[in-house]
Homo-oligomer: A and B are copies of this chain.
């Protein structure tokens, strides 16, 4: 854990709620729903200095990164085209993009999805130049971690939570070094207890979640608490309603993720 004592965000402002009031309408969806239990604009670093809200500027680039949950069947042949419906897949990234583009016609946003099915955090690092840095994103939203544990459970990977956390920190450090003004959003890895997800995932999975939150806290990024959102959701419908195999969201699950992301990132209630 040689990077654990670094203070990468020292001297930087905490970036939270940077979409500003102009997406309040979108966020009100979540605000008025059960999702509001998770609170308004949420940062993992509640004790860190707050900044003035910053709206995304004209022509800003928004990048979704992650594994199959982000990938969601996107057409990789179209990935160089911003705001291309096929290039965004049919998961939470698409739902968020459609809502942002509908509500922010003034912003000229360019939204990309570069999630790749099966990937773990070290694989994001391997393709980070091509699939992040060269795009010069203004906002990068990352959801990664479920394969870092899943592939150890099925014997296809020898990783540990420490390896996950170190690689995640190195990735963010590199991102901030290359893109000093980038806004970072870390999404909490989540599972539903059904399908492929059984008792053998726990409590180890909770350690991966905690690591992601720790990284978000230390880097003062926005943190989207998907697991606690889904923990609330299973009070309303069975786990399989939200993710049939316990890992990949249904449309309903993706809908809740989009609402939670918009709520947290847009920060309507902050």
> Which residues of chain B are within 8 angstroms of A233 by Cβ–Cβ distance?
105
A194 interfacial contact with B, CB 8 Å: no
Determine chain A's interface SS by DSSP, over half rule.
helix
A26 interfacial contact with B, CB 8 Å: yes
Q: What does the 1/0 interface line of A94-112 toward B look like (CB < 8 Å)? A: 1101110111011000000
- Tell which of B28, B30, B102, B255 touches A255, judged by Cβ atoms closer than 8 Å: B102
Is the beta-carbon distance between B98 and A254 smaller than 8 angstroms? yes
> Which residues of chain B are within 8 angstroms of A171 by Cβ–Cβ distance?
none
How many residues in A have their beta carbons less than 8 Å from beta carbons of B?
A: 38
Is the beta-carbon distance between B236 and A85 smaller than 8 angstroms? no
Near B by CB (< 8 A), chain A positions 108-127 give none
Is the beta-carbon distance between A255 and B103 smaller than 8 angstroms? yes
**A102, A233, A252, A255 — which one has the most chain B CB atoms within 10 A of its CB?**
A102
> Which residues of chain B are within 8 angstroms of A30 by Cβ–Cβ distance?
25
Near B by CB (< 8 A), chain A positions 63-82 give 73
A206 interfacial contact with B, CB 8 Å: no
A237 interfacial contact with B, CB 8 Å: yes
Q: What does the 1/0 interface line of A1-39 toward B look like (CB < 8 Å)? A: 000000000000000000000001110111111000000
Give 24 CB contacts A-B under 8 Å: A24-B32, A25-B28, A25-B29, A25-B31, A25-B33, A28-B32, A29-B103, A33-B103, A73-B85, A83-B251, A85-B90, A90-B90, A94-B251, A97-B251, A98-B252, A102-B252, A102-B254, A102-B255, A102-B258, A105-B233, A105-B236, A105-B237, A105-B252, A106-B237
A residues contacting B by CB (< 8 A) are 24-26, 28-33, 73, 83, 85-86, 88, 90, 94-95, 97-99, 101-103, 105-106, 233, 236-237, 241, 250-256, 258-259
